[in-house]
Amino acid sequence: FDQRDGFIWKDGEMVPWKDAKLHVLTHGLHYGSCVFEGERAYNGVIYKSHQHAERFRKSAELLDFEIPYSVQEIEAAKKLTIAKNNLTNCYVRPVAWRGSEMMAVAAQNAKIHMAIAVWDWPSMFDIATKMKGIRLDIAEYRRPDPACAPCASKAAGLYMICTISKHRAERRGYADAMMLDWQGRVAECTGANIMFVKDGEIHTPIADCFLNGLTRQTVIGLAKDKGIKVNERRIMPEELAGFDECFVVGTGAEVTPVSEIGPYRFTPGAISRTLVEAYAAEVQPKVHA
């Protein structure tokens, strides 16, 4: 991924993609002092750019460091990077980390760096394929107790167990893994939140120990607008047997129906379809008359 053409915004400058490098003694690499964002631009406009920039700064604050750019500056830099790379439908990856000026657990004087990379990611909307649903494994690792980690931060360190779980799921032929939380309740997937449908109502775990995704919040709003009741509550894995539909929601996943989680089966149906379509319409830039 590092040998591409194009430009990456790094500490306020546009650098050629291949030259956007770090020193091996970067604190963020050794100690996980790093936060990032995952965003998508549709037809040249980042969906919820402002909210992503706010979450980015908040993620760093939760790790006790401050990103040296304001929300407005971050938004401008993202726009500039998309324009510089001539992209319209793309993924946007801001990242911020403690640098290599100090090498120990304590790194108060290490500089805070920031970069933004963008890459082509066309939105392929094929409802028939989506409605087949993806298959999920159940991960061995659980989301940690909020007393053990800053779980509302999109912190790189919290993704260690996600990568392990995703790799194990793929090795076993699944698309992804559903993770439980520290108390054994249903939590989320390795890079997306999860929702279930029963008797025409949505049931989704309370985001109290994992990321309350922007897509999760958007989809809850879209469902309510359509008169679909949303129940945010504790969900035990045994309950999966009684759910009709299931789908995952996230910036990358958008709304993706699920057909299978371990021993449980679901049939993507009317509510999944309604929300797949509503979300696809929602992310398109609004045309102001």
257 binds ligand PMP (CB under 6 A): no
SS (H, E, C) the chain: CCCCCCEEEECCEEEEHHHCCCCCCCHHHHHCCEEECCEEEECCEECCHHHHHHHHHHHHHHCCCCCCCCHHHHHHHHHHHHHHCCCCCEEEEEEEEECCCCCCCCCCCCCEEEEEEEEECCCCCCHHHHCCCEEEEECCCCECCCCCCCCCCCEHHHHHHHHHHHHHHHHCCCCEEEEEECCCCEEEECCCEEEEEECCEEEECCCCCCCCCHHHHHHHHHHHHCCCCEEECCCCHHHHHHCCEEEEEECCCEEEEEEEECCEECCCCHHHHHHHHHHHHHCCCCCCC
Residue from 60, 116, 192, 235 touching ligand PMP (CB under 6 A): that is 192
Residue from 100, 215, 256, 259 touching ligand PMP (CB under 6 A): that is 215
Nearer to ligand PMP, 110 or 203 (CB): 203
Nearer to ligand PMP, 125 or 267 (CB): 125
Nearer to ligand PMP, 103 or 161 (CB): 161
Cα separation, 65 vs 112, whole angstroms: 8
Residue from 176, 181, 188, 245 touching ligand PMP (CB under 6 A): that is 188
Q: Which of 10, 48, 154, 166 is catalytic?
A: 154
Can 78 be counted among the known catalytic residues?
no
Residue from 94, 191, 205, 268 touching ligand PMP (CB under 6 A): that is 191
**Minimum distance of ligand PMP from residue 13's CB (angstroms):** 27
Helices (H), 179-241: 214-225
| Residue (of 160, 194, 196, 164) closest to 269 by Cα position | 196
**Token pair recorded at residue 280:** 């696809």
272 binds ligand PMP (CB under 6 A): no
**Minimum distance of ligand PMP from residue 158's CB (angstroms):** 7
Judged by CB under 6 A, the chain residues 70 through 129 that form the site for ligand PMP are none
Nearer to ligand PMP, 9 or 210 (CB): 210
194 binds ligand PMP (CB under 6 A): no
**Minimum distance of ligand PMP from residue 95's CB (angstroms):** 13
Judged by CB under 6 A, the chain residues 13 through 52 that form the site for ligand PMP are 38
| Total of chain residues touching ligand PMP, rule CB under 6 A | 14
256 binds ligand PMP (CB under 6 A): no
**Minimum distance of ligand PMP from residue 105's CB (angstroms):** 25
Residues forming contacts to ligand PMP in the complex (CB under 6 A) are 38, 162, 188, 191-193, 210-211, 213-216, 250-251
Give the active site residues: 154
